Amino acid sequence: MYYKLIVIYWMLYRKGDFMTDHLQTLKYIQSDVLSFWVNSKAQASFNEYFYSLKQCLKKRLGIVNAAFLSFDSNSLIPVEEMAALTIETKLNAVSWQMIEASFYQQNVVKIPYILKEKEAYKMMTDLVLFQAEGKTPIGVLLVEATDAWTDFMTSDYGEECVETLTKVLQMIRENLELKVNEDQYRKLYNMTDLFHSTMDIDLILENVLKNIKDNFPEFNVELILSNDQDRRTTIDIKLFDYLSERPATIEAFVSGELTTELASDLNCRLLNAPIKGRQAIYGILQVGAPTSYLFTTTEKDFVRMLAQASGNALENAKLYHQSHRLVSDLQLINETSHRLNMRIDIHEMLLFLQKQLKSLQPMEVCFAFKHNDSFEVTDASTALFNSEKGQTYIKHVEQHFEHTNDPLFIADFSRLTSNQIDYRSIMAIPILMEEKINGFSIVLHKEPYFFSFDSFKLMQSLIHHSSLAIANSILRNQLQEMVDLDHLTKLYARSYLDQYVEKSLEKDQSGMFLLIDIDNFKYINDTYGHQIGDKILMQIALKLKETIGDRGICARWGGEEMSVCVPNIDEKEAIELTTAIVAVIPNATDPQVTISAGLITWDEQYRPAFQSVFSYADTALYEAKNSGKNRFCIHDRFCQTNS
């Protein structure tokens, strides 16, 4: 009896020793893990962390053989291969769904057969899952167990060790993701900041390409823009052409979504990001990588955001430039429309359009123009439309356009007619002149549902561009109004003001130019919001127009700055008018604001250069601001306040 008591006492004593040893091992591991975290800034990849973890496990638990599979898009991939993912890596990856069930209510299990059968892991015995609560898995650790490992992991401290490692690995992964993204997003922020400070389209385009090439120096980067024939940059820019672009590129352009393509003929993998604003898609940012390379989600998101930021910037910059260019283009088309027969006759033009429409893979093509009260088929049409069978389709299209100017899309014509027909897919686009149908184009195919909606939009675009010369007279006034007036204040735009001032300097005997800035306008926006700020801009604009009347013009200079130009006014009158403007603004605004202004006048004795007018007025405005605001200063160092 006494002997048995001694044995029991000895066993309890040894158990306490084991517990003390395991606790010490846990503390050693936690100390090593803490060292990982402290040195995290010096590590460049998750693979380096795993190397440190392997050294820890070898030192503390005698683990010689270990591997780590990192979680990525429902796949488990060797951590050493994560730096440069390839298709082969993805194909050989272990599916997370195949082993997820193994971890039911436990994080440490025996290695499942799906991993055991792989040559690299056949000696492994245990599998550990690292997954923070509510998060996607970090990865799994495979080890060839030792006695020390088994004793420790089956002790009360094994689960605590896994929890500690999971927390640290989760923090390390998040820290690495932040570090990986930090440089790219800093560049994106800086570039966006640049975009908001410039209206130079060339500068925007060049910085887009520079930024993407800095982040992907080994890849080929191309900027494909639509209808940008006038671009002048130091970097090559390709024009978007529906007839020659790859399907994935066209899909990205039409759908506005990012696409990828394995271009075997080019021996590369293409990533197409649409450059889109709120109103339109302006082109494609295309990145070409080796065929074995797979773009990560982070890389795709970065390229997508870069393309979107550049699209918004392009749209803002192009609204002004594009309006002027469209007006010029429409005027050119209108002027040259009467000369088309001299340079290219209508038959050649329609043959060219027929060639463009072949990208839709139609079996028959027709062009018909209105003559008197009927439509006549042109020689550029295929033979079907000169036959009795072809008249079935022409009559149906004519009847449609008698009631509407909307394009016609029929997926299965056999459902709309009782006649025996050969061609079931139909698309017809009107050719408009002053919003009235002057002709139409038809494409046919025998198969039902052959043409996609993308093909329908493409055909509309092609026919629309051929109709622009005819529609010029309708669009010109609308576009000119967009160019000449600021949409918020209804004051004249800067471009119109420039022309007005330059003309006054050349032809008028005298004149004045007043540059106005709202005092503390940022405070108004920050305090009351931008809607109130816009309201104040409109109130001031209205009061300026009331004060100036027909004597001159008022314009929005930019932001919270406005301007006034009055021809044939002497300096005394100009000072009186400016004094009245400065005085009346506080009573015309709610909440009340004041303005500062810079004034310059000219007459036959003093006539500054065109660009100098703005510079001198700006200098005078700066002096007024520095002199206490709510006043104006006049050029040539003469300061007049509203006191």
My answer on whether 135 and 277 are in the same domain is no
193 in any annotated domain: no
pLDDT of 623 higher than 70: yes
566 in any annotated domain: yes
My answer on whether 617 and 493 are in the same domain is yes
pLDDT of 195 higher than 70: no
284 in any annotated domain: yes
| Partner residues linked to 367 by β-bridges | 441
CATH of the domain at 606: 3.30.70.270
Task: Name the residue with higher pLDDT: 214 or 379.
Answer: 379
My answer on whether 29 and 163 are in the same domain is yes
Task: Name the residue with higher pLDDT: 231 or 50.
Answer: 50
Using the 3D structure, point to which of 458, 476, 494 is the last residue of a domain: 476
Task: Name the residue with higher pLDDT: 491 or 212.
Answer: 491
As a whole number, mean pLDDT of residues 280-299 equals 82
What tokens appear for 340 in the block? 């088309």
- Of 299, 269, 248, 297, whose CA–CA distance to 87 is shortest? 269
pLDDT of 330 higher than 50: no
My answer on whether 490 and 635 are in the same domain is yes
Domain count, the chain: 4
Query: How many Å is the Cα radius of gyration of the chain?
Result: 37
338 in any annotated domain: no
pLDDT interval class at 468 (50, 70, 90): low
187 in any annotated domain: no
Q: What is the pLDDT of residues 60-99, one digit of tens each?
A: 889 999 998 888 878 888 887 776 666 666 667 888 888 8
User: Mean pLDDT, the chain, as a whole number?
Assistant: 80
Q: Tell me the C-alpha to C-alpha distance, in Å, between residue 282 and each of 222, 274, 279, 317.
A: 14, 8, 9, 12
Main-chain dihedrals φ then ψ at residue 70, nearest 5 degrees:
-90, 140
pLDDT of 115 higher than 80: yes
Please answer whether residues 378 and 365 qualify as being in contact, where contact means their C-beta atoms are separated by less than 8 angstroms.
Answer: no
Helices (H), 358-466: 388-401, 453-466
pLDDT of 206 higher than 50: yes
pLDDT of 440 higher than 70: yes
pLDDT of 598 higher than 90: yes
327 in any annotated domain: yes
My answer on whether 465 and 541 are in the same domain is no
My answer on whether 63 and 175 are in the same domain is yes
Task: Name the residue with higher pLDDT: 198 or 425.
Answer: 425
pLDDT of 227 higher than 60: no
Q: Tell me, what's the pLDDT at 501?
A: 93
pLDDT interval class at 19 (50, 70, 90): low
pLDDT interval class at 415 (50, 70, 90): confident
My answer on whether 235 and 355 are in the same domain is no
pLDDT of 268 higher than 80: yes
My answer on whether 150 and 255 are in the same domain is no
As a whole number, mean pLDDT of residues 218-230 equals 71
Q: Distance between terminal CA atoms of the chain?
A: 113
* Lowest mean pLDDT, pick from 143-147, 343-347, 373-377: 343-347
pLDDT of 36 higher than 60: yes
Q: Tell me the C-alpha to C-alpha distance, in Å, between residue 508 and each of 236, 425, 550, 562.
A: 46, 65, 16, 22
Structural domain including 111 reads 11-179
Main-chain dihedrals φ then ψ at residue 125, nearest 5 degrees:
-120, -35
Using the 3D structure, point to which of 444, 476, 508 is the last residue of a domain: 476
pLDDT of 26 higher than 80: yes
pLDDT of 638 higher than 80: no
Q: How is 552-592 classified by DSSP, letter by letter? A: SEEEEEETTEEEEEEES--HHHHHHHHHHHHHHHHHHSSS-
Q: What is the pLDDT of residues 540-593, one digit of tens each?
A: 999 999 999 999 999 998 889 999 999 999 999 999 999 999 999 999 999 999
Q: What is the pLDDT of residues 123-171, one digit of tens each?
A: 999 999 988 888 889 889 999 999 999 999 888 888 888 888 888 888 8
Whole-angstrom distance, CA of residue 37 vs CA of residue 46: 12
186 in any annotated domain: no
pLDDT of 33 higher than 90: no
* Lowest mean pLDDT, pick from 50-54, 86-90, 412-416: 86-90
pLDDT of 229 higher than 70: no
CATH of the domain at 156: 3.30.450.40
Q: What 8-state DSSP symbol labels residue 532?
A: H
My answer on whether 373 and 404 are in the same domain is yes
My answer on whether 254 and 373 are in the same domain is no
* Percent of the chain at pLDDT exceeding 90: 28
What is residue 370's three-state secondary structure?
Answer: strand
As a whole number, mean pLDDT of residues 199-211 equals 75
Q: What is the pLDDT of residues 497-554, one digit of tens each?
A: 999 999 999 999 999 999 999 999 999 999 999 999 999 999 999 999 999 999 999 9
pLDDT of 281 higher than 50: yes
Q: Tell me, what's the pLDDT at 90?
A: 67
Using the 3D structure, point to which of 428, 449, 476 is the last residue of a domain: 476
249 in any annotated domain: yes
Residue 633: is it exposed, middle or buried by C-beta count within 10 angstroms (0-12/13-18/19+)? buried
Q: Tell me, what's the pLDDT at 194?
A: 66
As a whole number, mean pLDDT of residues 201-210 equals 76
My answer on whether 170 and 55 are in the same domain is yes
As a whole number, mean pLDDT of residues 477-503 equals 83
My answer on whether 520 and 446 are in the same domain is no
pLDDT interval class at 460 (50, 70, 90): confident
pLDDT of 621 higher than 80: yes
Task: Name the residue with higher pLDDT: 40 or 588.
Answer: 588
What is residue 611's three-state secondary structure?
Answer: helix
